[in-house]
Every structure is written in structure tokens, then in C-alpha cells.
Chain A
């Protein structure tokens, strides 16, 4: 199974909003509401920011939101802050009863 497709990089100024896309197929993103988004700072453990397409775990800022349309999921970060600079990965359950990650997006705060 192929990795989900994400843009390699997205940037924005502090306070702006950015959106990261995650494109899969009907066998993963489009077929299930099991899309998660992870924030990964180099050298640290990944952290789940969104699960179930649009749910936020306790403790995650409401500046992070998720959505899905067809085979594409999206993560939006509003009110961008310097601490949001990190790599972001989407993940989806698949019809093979496995999971797949996205290719990853580097978010830069200008």
C-alpha cells in the first residue's frame, strides 16, 4: 500500500491559518473515518493532534482542526504560532486491516 500524499512543506506567518492536505484512496482515507494527524518535533515522540477525522484529544489546542472530503483529509492550524513549527503526518486505517502514514509535511512559521 502506498503512503498517503501530503505536500512536502507549508509555511505561514504567525497568526495566519494554514491547511495541510492528505490524499489517499477509497481503501483508506475515503473508506473510513479513522484519519489521525500527528505532530512530530525532531528527536521527540510523535503526538496525536486529531483523531477520528476531526476529534481533538484532551489538551490539544482548539487551533487545530480536521476535516475530510472524499479521499482527502485536511488539517488546519489557525492562529499559527512558533511552537507549531514541526513535521505533520496524517494516518489512516486501511481495508487491509493495517494503517498507513502520509508522506509528511514540514510546517515553517515565517
Chain B
């Protein structure tokens, strides 16, 4: 069974750093891209960026370029989303999802990681 299991909820203060994770199982991790998607409270889904775990080729939405870093460690089938300095506007639910190159779709999703940033 294909699974993407994300790390647990986080409560952080502004200015702190954070790295959340997404561990894939039940499939060949390096065969699929991993994307990260944000949903701010009461808002819609926003595509943040994606990584190819096979070679760490990474693409970012212009809205998120420079704001976050996406990485992956293929030896442990895990992708990451990290911030160097959080702000209150980073408060959101973050989902990871996998997509096969050329399919144009994200066919399996993680359960989401809630991030709350507050002083």
C-alpha cells in the first residue's frame, strides 16, 4: 500500500526555524516526484514546489521561491520542507503528495502537518 506519512503538528515562535518531513513507503521512492502544498486557514490549496528524490532536482512556485527549502534523503525515503525564519503567515496545514513524472497529477497524499506560528 502506498503511504506518505508526515511528521506531527508543530507550534513555533516567529523567527524560529522548522523542518517537517514526509516519508514514503509501498513504492519506489525515487520514481515519483514529491510536491508540497499549503492550505492557510480558511483558504484554498497552494502548490509550493516539488523535488525529484532521485537527483534532488527541485522546482518552486514563484510565490514560494526563497521562502522555503525543499529537500529529500532518498536513503530513508523522506522528503522535507523547511523554513529558516518562520512568520505568523506561515501558519497553515502543509501536505506532501507524490506524482509520477509526466503524469501531471498528484495521486497520493500525506495526512498533512499543521504548523502554528505565534508569539
* A48: contacting residue among B35, B49, B59, B106, CB under 8 A: B106
What per-residue 1/0 map shows which CB atoms of B37-65 lie under 8 Å from chain A? 10000001111011000000001111100
Contact B45 A38 (CB under 8 A): yes
Given A98-B61, A100-B61 in contact, is the A48-B107 Cβ separation under 8 Å?
A: yes
A-B contact count (CB 8 A): 72
A80 to B44, CA, bound (A): 23
Taking residues whose C-beta sits less than 8 angstroms from the other chain, chain A's interface range is 20 to 34
Contact A89 B44 (CB under 8 A): yes
* B47: contacting residue among A87, A101, A103, CB under 8 A: A101
Task: Tell me how many residues of B have a C-beta within 8 Å of chain A.
Answer: 24
A79 interface contact, C-beta 8 A? no
Contact A52 B110 (CB under 8 A): no
A97 to B49, CA, bound (A): 10
Contact B110 A45 (CB under 8 A): yes
A57 interface contact, C-beta 8 A? yes
A36 interface contact, C-beta 8 A? yes
What per-residue 1/0 map shows which CB atoms of B82-119 lie under 8 Å from chain A? 00000000000001010000011111011110000000
* A98: contacting residue among B45, B60, B107, CB under 8 A: B60
Residues on B lying within 8 angstroms of A by beta carbon are 35, 37, 44-47, 49-50, 59-63, 95, 97, 103-107, 109-112
Residues on A lying within 8 angstroms of B by beta carbon are 1, 3, 32-36, 38, 40, 45-48, 51-52, 57, 87, 89, 91-93, 96-104
